[in-house]
Each structure stands twice: as C-alpha cells, then as structure tokens.
Chains A and B, each alone.
Chain A
C-alpha cells in the first residue's frame, strides 16, 4: 500500500518540518532542552492535525479516485453467450411468393402446401429454410410490386412442358407446367411439386452451403455434411472475398509503360458500366471512387509472355501508387495496363486471357492498344469495365450462381449472417479479454458500445432473412468492433508492485516520514498527558 499523499516535497521538508514542528531550536546538546510552553505544545498539535486532516480528507480520497482503474460494467455472460452461439440460433427463413394466377385458389393452396412438404423433405439444414407462400392474386402479375421480404417469387404458368427459368432481371423464377401436371386436390404428391422443390433447392443451393459453412465455422453449430469439393470451393470464396466493410474505395488506374495514352474516358465508362452495378449494391455497401493515370510505369515483370508466377509480381508494389492512405475504407484496385504482354499458359496452348484477379486486392486487365493512340475510348474500356464489374461481385463475396438480382439478395442475407457472427465473435473476444486482463481500463463508451451492439444483434437475429437484418447486423458489428478497438484501452498493463514502490517512494517517502513521526509523537504525548492526568486525579483522590 502506498503511503498517503500530501505534505511538502523533499527539499523543503527538512526546513518546514523543522520550522513548524520543532519550533524551539534546542540549546546545546549537553543541556536538556528547556520544557516547552503549553501554548507551543497546543500549537504544534494543531499543525500536525492540520496536515493530517488534509491527508485523510483530501489526500486519501484523491489517491483512491485517481489510481483506481476504471472498468465499466460489461455484461460478460451475455457477451459470451452471443459468442458461443447460445443467445441466437441463426436461422434464415426465405420467403418465396408463389404467383399462380392461372390456378384455382384451392388448387394453388394445395400446390403450395405440397411443394412446401417436398422442400421440407429435401432440406437437411435448419439454418436456412425456404417458405412458400401464395401471393395474393393480381391482375397484372408482371408489374406487381414484390413483397420486400420475399426473396424470390415463382410465377407458375401453364405451358407445354415442365420448364424453369430464372428471370435475369428480377428475383423471380418462371415455371411453366403442362396442364395435366397440376396435382388433384387430394393427391399426396405430384411431379410438379417435386419439380418445384428441386428447382428451388438448386437455386438456393449455393447460398445454403455458404451459410452452413459460415455457421459451421462458428463454435457450436454442427458442421453440415458438405462434400470436400464444396468445402474447398467455399474456402476459396472466403479467401477471395474482402472482409466486410461498410464502405469500399475503388481505384481505377490506367498504367502504361510509355508516354501514351494520357487520357481515358473513365468517367463515362464508370457511369455506363459500373454505376448501375454500384447502385444495386448500394444497400449493402457504399463506394467511393478515384481514378489515376500513370505514365512510364514499369511493371514488376518485364517479359513479353507472362507466366502465372509472373502475374503475382507484375504489380510493382514498390513504385506504383496503389494504396492510397487517405480515408479508412479498404481499397479495391482495378488496374488497366496498356501494353502488349500476353498471359501464357504452359499447359494449354491457344488459350489467352487479358485479366487476372488478385484475391482481396483487385483486378488487373491488360489492354493492348497502338502506341500512337493517346486516348482510351469508352468502347475500349467496355471489356475491362465489365470484367471489373464481374470481379467486383466476386471480391465482395457474391454467390456465383443464379441471376444477378438473386445473387445480390443472397449476398445481403449472407452478409447479415456473416456480420452477426463477426459481431458476436468480437463481443466474445472483448469479454474474454476483460476477464483475462484485470488491469486493463474499460471506459464507459465501451460498455455503451457493447449494449448497443447486443441490442442490434437481437434485432438482427430476430429478423434474419429480412431486409432490416443487414442494417442491424451492420450496426452491431460496427459497435462491437469499435468497443473492442477502443483507443484508450492501451497502456502498459503489466505494472508490478515493485514498480509502484519506485513511483511512490521517492516523492512520498520524505513527506511521510515527518508526518508519521509527528503523529506518533503527538499520540505519545497525548497518552502520556492522559496518564499524567489520571495520576494527578488519583493523587488528588488519595489526598
């Protein structure tokens, strides 16, 4: 325990203590010092008292207040529950609206019921299940606004044969069926319902496997029985995709090893080919964009034919300004290199390629163009831009199969599940950290962040699969990360007691000694005085 603070510091302790506490300089050592007068004694008591009052009533509280480590109350158990997956069993219900306007009401209902049974029979993973729902009849089904919470709508139409086609423009599955395949009202199963079920399952297969893979990497959920090939593919997706960030920064760069071209129609090209894609991604991510042109840029590899090993070092990381340090958003690079290099494939002749993707980084596109051309037109940029667009989806972790709208809506569901798990994980890390490091300070805003994160987690968990889930999961993750990475939770945590002595003693030691000695002397004197008084009283009595 540290000596209490207060009192004079080292250098004048001697003088002030001597001055105030032994007011009468003594006579030479041979003689005993003359007795002190009562007033002097009383005065000295007051002085000692005044110092001690200060120490006890101001010094000690200050010491207590300023040296305790503030640790805000964190709901540790709750946080660990989230991390262990006990607080929430993530389950993504997928609403599918069935438009069967050509069928009778009862027939349609029956069809939906049967199809639902068929789906339930096929499904073996509880975290992700499809729910069919008969959409209210509408006269103009094509124009009808979809229920925002339904992930897919099925349009049943009579036709010649049983066919299914994904609408490339909307999240919709068009199924045609021969009239005779509609199950009669009392039948237990039919070809059509099985067909619908299989079709739906295959449509959502990739999403389902991604979700089950996500959940299986969290501690409690049992790994779903995925085949090794699928697992490998999923691993690949995981390594390719960038970590989730609310905002990404896209850098479009034009690099050339010569003096030309110096201009490019990037603005219109982005507007034409990129903007629509970014717009539909808008609900999931924000994007900021910048562009640059670099002349005389030497690639890291000079050879004419690039082998696959060359591609990795093609980017001249040391000299090309590709990692802008402005802003906090991760950068995705889309690099167009003007040059006539080709990519060679040793094993398969005749194949050519102009572009390659670097996982978690971006894309490089080799664009060959005559040297004299000092301008890259919009049309020349079409191919690169489309490639970039495709790769952007990959880099963001979009599933590969299905129509674009479906892929995007599945991306938002996958991202919300992903964020939910990340946020839970961050909370768990923070909880374990605060248990294992008892000397780390935890400021109040960490506790606030945790509370907010848990609140949004609950909402996200309850609404998984709906469109709000992403919003809540995003806030939950952001808050959990911010709480974990709280800037002030840094410092030298390990502060052994001998260090504390080294901090306290040099300053407080010299102060404490006269204080304590003064107090002891006073107490001794008081005891003696009391004894004396008692003695005197006794004497008086005995007289």
Chain B
C-alpha cells in the first residue's frame, strides 16, 4: 500500500462526500430524517434540538427528544453555528470517517485477521490489502449514508475501530480509553470488553503477566475512564444523575418506539404490558449472552470474535441503524480471505440488497402513502436482519472451518456436514 494510493482514496472519499453534502442541499436533511439511518439515540436532528436547548441554557433533556450522551453537546457547541457556517459539521463527520478508515487500515496492516498469536490461517495471504479495505469502507453506501445523515453513531464506530486498532498495535491503555469513549456514547460497546482485552493481551510484546491480572488492570482502566466521563457529564448537566435515565435508560427500557431497522420496536409495540419488562430483560440478556460463548470459542482469534459480535449487535441491539451494519461490513472485509469458505454469500448479499431497496419503499407505503401498514416495514426489517444474520453465521462458520482445516488438513476442500 502506497502513501499515494491511500491519500488518493481518502481524497476521493472526501470529495464524494463534499459533493453529496453541497451539490444536493436537501440530501443531508432527507437522510437525517430516515429511520434506517437515524435512531432515537443517534439522530442528528435530536442532537440539534439538544444543542439548541443547551446553548439557550435549558436542560437539554427537557422535552424528551434528546437521548444522547451529554458530552456531545459542549463538543458540538464548539463548532460555529451550523446555520451561518454550514461547512464545519460535514467536515467533522468526514474527518471521523477518514479516521475510521485509517483505523481499519491499521488493523489490516497488522495482519491479525490472518495470523494471531494462537492461530495462523493457511489462507492469510489471500486477503485484501489495507487500501482495498479502506476503500470498501469509505465507499460503502451505508457508510456514506450515515456520514451524510450525520448520525452520531459514527463517533461510536470510530471509537470502536480505534479501540481495536490500538489493541492490535498493543497499546492496551489506548484501546481501553477508546472503548470507554464508545461505551460512553452508546453503552452497548462495553460488551466488547472481554474479546478486546484478549486481543490486546495477545498482541502485547510479551505475555509475562497472566491473563487475569491483565484483564483486571484493563477493566479498571475502563471503569476509571467511564467514571471520569460520567463525572464530567454529571457536572455538565447541572449536577444531577438524571441524564443517565434519559440516555442509557431510554436504551434499556426502549421507551421510544420509533421504528428502526431492528427487531425490538415492533415486538414491544405488540407485547402485553405485563410481560414488557420481562422481555426487555430477556432481549438484553440475549444480546449479552453471546459475549461469553464467542470469546471462549474464538479464543484463538479475538478479532474474529469482535467482528462476529459487532455483527450480532447490529442485528439485535435496541436501536440499530445501517451505520452499525457498515461497521460490521468494515470488519467483515478484513476476512475476505475466508470468502471461499463461506456458503451463503450470494444469498446474504442478495437479501441485504433486496432489503435496502424495498425498505424505504415499504416505509413510504406505510407512513406516507397510507396504503400499507407497519407490518410492511417490519417484514422488510426482518429480511434485513435475516441477511445480516446469514452473513454473521457464515463468517463464524468460515472462521471455524478455517481453524478446523488446520487441525485436520486432510479435509481441506471437502464438503463437510454439520451434526
């Protein structure tokens, strides 16, 4: 990968985004309003509302619109007024995208996807270069849409990618700080802690300290960082912990039932009230239950565990959007060398395409045309989730098959049957 190649790709990506931002003035706002891109906890519109209240000395969570982390407000208030200086917000989002791509390049450069401390894939040479991976991420329509739609989940994504990149580089402290940022912004990334610690441990220069001690230190680091961030938020929101209920509480209790591409909203619209809290707990447990199993099963390849987990989260978290899918696809592209081992790539990609085109159409039929009902859109989100879960399970299968082939070289290339 040459520097020039990288710079070229970045330049084209920046240009493309600038064109989208400024040649089509209606586009950013259109995308910001789409439920596929903006969820109640990441929407830029809601952020602007919160920002307005904050700038006018009103408690930003009044009005029940803004549900995002409090620290975003002072950071965004640093930017010049978006009405008179519309350039800065797009620039910030573009920068974040570039940083994410850069993190991906670093992860790819480390070769962790093909060769970890405990496992070396026989196919490691066949993967894509960092340049291709960065390009795949930057030119992914989902990434572009979430950038132009200015959802705040891109900050979370960037933080997660940086956490992984730093862990891969062996900077465990940095990784933990980045993960704390991500968790602070969106809460769910805290579930990535176990595989990330394992990854950081594996990538350290020496494994003199035991895993347990290393994990304990890192957990403490994350806890410390989070308490600093939460403390700052506490001071910022007028010395009250109320913001916890208005940010993380919303995610935990799913009080806002705005449709998303996920599975929760419809389910909890239909759920009997008396079972609502039970199923909320169940859904969250379900989300958390993968962490342990996958970390153990994919102990040899923590990066793969992270990728699979991110895929699962983008399907099952309470307020998923296409930006979560773009993060998963970014990590997925690190594993292109396993593509031959995957069985349903065609079906999965077709399903995803199908859902991405029909989703907006069905949403329109439901909300605007009135000729469909909520089931239309929900059906399409089911298809979307199905496509993603096919991809996730296929990736898992491929990773495991790759491992298995090392164990049993005689089976390479043969059809295997699951039992």
| In-complex A–B contact (CB below 8 Å) | yes
Set of chain A residues within 8 Å of B294, measured between Cβ atoms: 20
Set of chain A residues within 8 Å of B407, measured between Cβ atoms: 24, 37
Asked if B274 and A495 sit within 8 Å, CB to CB, the answer is yes
Knowing A16-B393, A23-B400, the reply to whether A67 touches B286 (Cβ < 8 A) is: no
Give the distance in Å from the alpha carbon of A9 to the alpha carbon of B282 in the complex.
Answer: 10
Asked if A6 and B282 sit within 8 Å, CB to CB, the answer is yes
Partner of B297, one of A24, A26, A43, A63: A43
Set of chain B residues within 8 Å of A495, measured between Cβ atoms: 274
Give the distance in Å from the alpha carbon of A394 to the alpha carbon of B172 in the complex.
Answer: 84
Set of chain A residues within 8 Å of B389, measured between Cβ atoms: 11-12, 15
Asked if A63 and B289 sit within 8 Å, CB to CB, the answer is no
Asked if A16 and B396 sit within 8 Å, CB to CB, the answer is yes
Residue of A with least CB distance to B388: A12
B254 to chain A, nearest CB (A): 14
Partner of B286, one of A7, A22, A25: A7
Give the distance in Å from the alpha carbon of A51 to the alpha carbon of B289 in the complex.
Answer: 6
A507 to chain B, nearest CB (A): 7
Asked if B404 and A26 sit within 8 Å, CB to CB, the answer is no
Interface centre among B296, B385, B408 (most CB of A within 10 A): B296
Asked if B286 and A19 sit within 8 Å, CB to CB, the answer is no
User: Would you call A28 an interface residue if the criterion is a C-beta within 8 Å of the partner chain's C-beta atoms?
Assistant: yes
Asked if B293 and A28 sit within 8 Å, CB to CB, the answer is no
Give the distance in Å from the alpha carbon of A59 to the alpha carbon of B397 in the complex.
Answer: 28
Give the distance in Å from the alpha carbon of A34 to the alpha carbon of B410 in the complex.
Answer: 12
B201 to chain A, nearest CB (A): 17
User: Would you call A50 an interface residue if the criterion is a C-beta within 8 Å of the partner chain's C-beta atoms?
Assistant: yes
B197 to chain A, nearest CB (A): 16
Asked if B286 and A9 sit within 8 Å, CB to CB, the answer is yes
User: Would you call A496 an interface residue if the criterion is a C-beta within 8 Å of the partner chain's C-beta atoms?
Assistant: no
Asked if B401 and A25 sit within 8 Å, CB to CB, the answer is yes
B302 to chain A, nearest CB (A): 15
Asked if B286 and A6 sit within 8 Å, CB to CB, the answer is yes
User: Would you call B278 an interface residue if the criterion is a C-beta within 8 Å of the partner chain's C-beta atoms?
Assistant: yes
User: Would you call A320 an interface residue if the criterion is a C-beta within 8 Å of the partner chain's C-beta atoms?
Assistant: no
User: Would you call A289 an interface residue if the criterion is a C-beta within 8 Å of the partner chain's C-beta atoms?
Assistant: no
Asked if A5 and B278 sit within 8 Å, CB to CB, the answer is yes
Chain A positions 38-63 with a Cβ under 8 Å from a chain B Cβ = 43, 46-47, 50-51, 53-54, 58-59, 62-63
Set of chain B residues within 8 Å of A34, measured between Cβ atoms: 408
Chain B positions 359-406 with a Cβ under 8 Å from a chain A Cβ = 385-386, 389, 392-393, 396-397, 400-401, 404
B296 to chain A, nearest CB (A): 5
Set of chain B residues within 8 Å of A63, measured between Cβ atoms: 278, 281-282
A431 to chain B, nearest CB (A): 23
B311 to chain A, nearest CB (A): 10
Residue of B with least CB distance to A46: B296
Asked if B292 and A503 sit within 8 Å, CB to CB, the answer is no
Give the distance in Å from the alpha carbon of A523 to the alpha carbon of B46 in the complex.
Answer: 52
Asked if B296 and A47 sit within 8 Å, CB to CB, the answer is yes
Set of chain B residues within 8 Å of A20, measured between Cβ atoms: 293-294, 297
Partner of B400, one of A11, A19, A46, A47: A19
Residue of B with least CB distance to A7: B289
Partner of B282, one of A12, A53, A62, A492: A62
Residue of B with least CB distance to A23: B400
User: Would you call A449 an interface residue if the criterion is a C-beta within 8 Å of the partner chain's C-beta atoms?
Assistant: no
Interface flags for A245-271 (1: CB within 8 Å of B; 0: not) read 000000000000000000000000000
Give the distance in Å from the alpha carbon of A5 to the alpha carbon of B157 in the complex.
Answer: 30
Q: Is the interface of A mostly helix, strand, loop or mixed?
A: helix
A38 to chain B, nearest CB (A): 13
Set of chain B residues within 8 Å of A507, measured between Cβ atoms: 279, 282
Give the distance in Å from the alpha carbon of A5 to the alpha carbon of B279 in the complex.
Answer: 9
Asked if A12 and B285 sit within 8 Å, CB to CB, the answer is no
Set of chain B residues within 8 Å of A6, measured between Cβ atoms: 282, 285-286, 289
Set of chain A residues within 8 Å of B286, measured between Cβ atoms: 5-9, 511
Set of chain B residues within 8 Å of A26, measured between Cβ atoms: 416-419
Partner of B278, one of A37, A46, A58, A67: A67
Partner of A58, one of B285, B296, B404: B285
User: Would you call B290 an interface residue if the criterion is a C-beta within 8 Å of the partner chain's C-beta atoms?
Assistant: yes
Asked if B285 and A25 sit within 8 Å, CB to CB, the answer is no
Residue of B with least CB distance to A62: B281
Set of chain A residues within 8 Å of B397, measured between Cβ atoms: 15, 19
Set of chain A residues within 8 Å of B386, measured between Cβ atoms: 11
Chain B positions 284-306 with a Cβ under 8 Å from a chain A Cβ = 285-286, 288-290, 292-294, 296-297, 299
Set of chain B residues within 8 Å of A1, measured between Cβ atoms: none
Asked if A51 and B404 sit within 8 Å, CB to CB, the answer is no
Set of chain B residues within 8 Å of A67, measured between Cβ atoms: 274-275, 278
Chain A positions 484-543 with a Cβ under 8 Å from a chain B Cβ = 491-492, 495, 503, 507-508, 511
Partner of B316, one of A9, A27, A33: A9
Set of chain A residues within 8 Å of B411, measured between Cβ atoms: 27
Asked if A491 and B273 sit within 8 Å, CB to CB, the answer is yes
Asked if A18 and B278 sit within 8 Å, CB to CB, the answer is no
Asked if B393 and A19 sit within 8 Å, CB to CB, the answer is yes
Asked if B296 and A50 sit within 8 Å, CB to CB, the answer is yes
Set of chain A residues within 8 Å of B315, measured between Cβ atoms: 12
Asked if A24 and B278 sit within 8 Å, CB to CB, the answer is no
Give the distance in Å from the alpha carbon of A63 to the alpha carbon of B279 in the complex.
Answer: 9
Residue of A with least CB distance to B419: A26
Partner of B393, one of A9, A12, A59: A12
User: Would you call A29 an interface residue if the criterion is a C-beta within 8 Å of the partner chain's C-beta atoms?
Assistant: yes
User: Would you call B24 an interface residue if the criterion is a C-beta within 8 Å of the partner chain's C-beta atoms?
Assistant: no
Residue of B with least CB distance to A58: B285
Set of chain B residues within 8 Å of A66, measured between Cβ atoms: 275, 277-278, 280-281
Give the distance in Å from the alpha carbon of A69 to the alpha carbon of B279 in the complex.
Answer: 15
User: Would you call B85 an interface residue if the criterion is a C-beta within 8 Å of the partner chain's C-beta atoms?
Assistant: no
Knowing A5-B281, A16-B396, the reply to whether A43 touches B296 (Cβ < 8 A) is: yes
A222 to chain B, nearest CB (A): 46
Give the distance in Å from the alpha carbon of A511 to the alpha carbon of B288 in the complex.
Answer: 14
Set of chain B residues within 8 Å of A29, measured between Cβ atoms: 417
Set of chain B residues within 8 Å of A27, measured between Cβ atoms: 411, 416-417
Residue of A with least CB distance to B389: A12
B419 to chain A, nearest CB (A): 4
Give the distance in Å from the alpha carbon of A43 to the alpha carbon of B400 in the complex.
Answer: 13
Interface centre among B289, B316, B408 (most CB of A within 10 A): B289
Set of chain B residues within 8 Å of A11, measured between Cβ atoms: 385-386, 389
User: Would you call B346 an interface residue if the criterion is a C-beta within 8 Å of the partner chain's C-beta atoms?
Assistant: no
User: Would you call B272 an interface residue if the criterion is a C-beta within 8 Å of the partner chain's C-beta atoms?
Assistant: yes
Asked if A15 and B296 sit within 8 Å, CB to CB, the answer is no
Give the distance in Å from the alpha carbon of A56 to the alpha carbon of B408 in the complex.
Answer: 36
Set of chain A residues within 8 Å of B392, measured between Cβ atoms: 12, 15
Give the distance in Å from the alpha carbon of A399 to the alpha carbon of B11 in the complex.
Answer: 92
Interface centre among B272, B285, B292, B396 (most CB of A within 10 A): B285
Asked if A51 and B401 sit within 8 Å, CB to CB, the answer is no
Asked if B293 and A33 sit within 8 Å, CB to CB, the answer is no
Asked if A25 and B404 sit within 8 Å, CB to CB, the answer is yes
Knowing A8-B290, A50-B293, A503-B272, the reply to whether A22 touches B419 (Cβ < 8 A) is: yes
Residue of A with least CB distance to B263: A9
B99 to chain A, nearest CB (A): 31
Set of chain A residues within 8 Å of B277, measured between Cβ atoms: 66
Q: List 26 A-B contacts (CB under 8 A).
A: A8-B289, A9-B316, A11-B385, A11-B386, A12-B315, A12-B393, A16-B396, A18-B418, A23-B400, A25-B416, A25-B418, A27-B411, A27-B416, A28-B417, A34-B408, A43-B299, A46-B296, A50-B292, A50-B296, A51-B293, A54-B288, A62-B281, A62-B282, A66-B281, A69-B274, A503-B272
Residues of A within 8 A of B (CB): 5-9, 11-12, 15-16, 18-20, 22-29, 33-34, 37, 43, 46-47, 50-51, 53-54, 58-59, 62-63, 65-67, 69, 491-492, 495, 503, 507-508, 511
**Apart from A5-B286, A12-B393, 18 more pairs, CB < 8 Å:** A5-B278, A5-B281, A5-B285, A8-B290, A19-B396, A20-B294, A23-B404, A25-B404, A34-B408, A54-B288, A62-B278, A62-B282, A63-B281, A63-B282, A66-B277, A66-B281, A67-B274, A508-B282
**What are the nearest 4 A-B pairs in CB distance?**
A15-B393, A50-B292, A25-B416, A62-B281
